[in-house]
């Protein structure tokens, strides 16, 4: 029977919600920019949108193949770092948007979620020894 590991599930859920909120915020910024409102879309936003799409794609792949969970951890930590740096850059250069502090919070949430997800998917020493012992028993019959 499959075991439920709550720290992994909670980290995965936090990452998913953070990515969805970022997609909504950036989608609103793009819509406002295209409609002629005074919203700045620069290189950092384009990079952020690309990483949001990449992270969503990786979330879908990981849902279908849970063995690739470390990809979500790396991608969410990278996206979180990009979001925090971009929001701080806009804040210090007085290109302040309406969602600057929310983006910084979501960025730190993504970094922490990725860290805890990566930490919960690593094997401890006892599990590694067990896996090596079991692999040693496996023989290829021809």
95 part of a folded domain:
yes
Distance, C-alpha 115 to centroid of its chain: 10
99 part of a folded domain:
yes
**Which long-range contacts does 1-5 make (Cβ < 8 Å, 24+ apart)?**
5/120
Q: What is the pLDDT of residue 111?
A: 92
Q: What is the pLDDT of residue 36?
A: 75
Q: Is the model's pLDDT at 142 over the cut of 60?
A: no
C-beta of residue 81 within 8 angstroms of C-beta of residue 111 = yes
Q: What is the pTM of this model?
A: 0.75
pLDDT in tens, 42-75: 777 788 888 888 988 988 888 888 778 888 889 9
Domain span at residue 69 reads: 43-121
49 part of a folded domain:
yes
Instruction: Decide which of 81 and 139 is more confident.
Output: 81
Say how many domains are in the chain. Answer: 1
104 part of a folded domain:
yes
Q: Is the model's pLDDT at 41 over the cut of 80?
A: no
126 part of a folded domain:
no
79 part of a folded domain:
yes
Q: What is the pLDDT of residue 122?
A: 65
108 part of a folded domain:
yes
pLDDT in tens, 77-131: 999 998 898 888 877 877 666 677 888 899 999 999 888 888 776 666 776 777 7
């Amino acid at each position: 029977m499959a075991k439920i590991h709550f720290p992994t599930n909670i980290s995965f859920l936090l990452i998913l919600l953070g990515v969805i909120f970022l997609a909504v915020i950036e989608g609103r910024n793009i819509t406002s920019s295209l409609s002629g409102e005074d919203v700045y879309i620069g290189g950092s936003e384009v990079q952020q949108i690309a990483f949001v799409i990449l992270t969503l794609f990786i979330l879908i792949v990981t849902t279908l193949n849970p063995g690739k969970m470390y990809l979500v951890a790396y991608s969410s930590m990278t996206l979180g770092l990009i979001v925090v740096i971009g929001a701080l850059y806009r804040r210090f250069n007085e290109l302040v948007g309406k969602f600057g502090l929310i983006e910084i919070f979501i960025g730190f949430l993504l970094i922490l979620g990725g860290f805890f997800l990566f930490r919960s998917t690593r094997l401890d020493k006892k599990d590694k020894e067990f896996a090596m012992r079991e692999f040693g028993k496996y023989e290829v019959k021809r």
